[in-house]
Amino acid sequence: MKLNHINLYSHDTEADRVMFEQYFGLHTLVVRGSKMAIMQDNDGLVLIVNHFDNKLDGFDYPKQFDILHIGFIQKSREDVDALYKRLSADGWDVQAPRDTHGA
């Protein structure tokens, strides 16, 4: 079985779309105003970020932000550290890399 797509709520779909392109190499397939961006990686995975307030119905992210996350495989620990430094330097609030589950 192969994962087809992931749909994530976003507070700012445009900023998130640009971040996924700039740092993780996804390319944009569709943008629907400020409500949705559909992107794809080189392996065919589709990532959707949406801002559909009318569908939240009381949903709120947990206070521990590391509970909900996605991970991107990098070639080396040095690549992970370099990406972390780029994200941090550009103002993204990211956790420091750590070894978890062999990753």
Identify the DSSP state of 10: -
Q: Which alpha helices (H) appear in the chain, and where do they start and end?
A: 13-24, 77-89
In the numeric block, which tokens belong to residue 72?
């991107």
Helix (H, G, I), strand (E, B) or coil at 87: helix
Q: Does residue 97 fall inside a structural domain?
A: no
In this prediction the pTM is 0.74
Number of domains the chain is built from? 1
Question: Which of 2-11, 27-36, 60-69 bottoms out in mean pLDDT, i.e. has the lowest?
Answer: 60-69
Question: How many angstroms separate the CA atoms of 13 and 22, rounded?
Answer: 14
Tell me what the pLDDT averaged over the chain comes to.
84
The string of pLDDT tens digits covering residues 72-87 is: 888 888 999 999 999 9
In-domain check, residue 12: yes
The CATH number assigned to the domain holding 25 equals 3.10.180.10
Q: Are strands 46-50 and 5-9 parallel, antiparallel or unpaired?
A: parallel
Task: Say if 103 falls within a structural domain.
Answer: no
Q: Whole domain around residue 28: which residue ranges?
A: 5-53+63-89
Structure tokens at 31: 């943008």
Residue 20 lies in a domain: yes
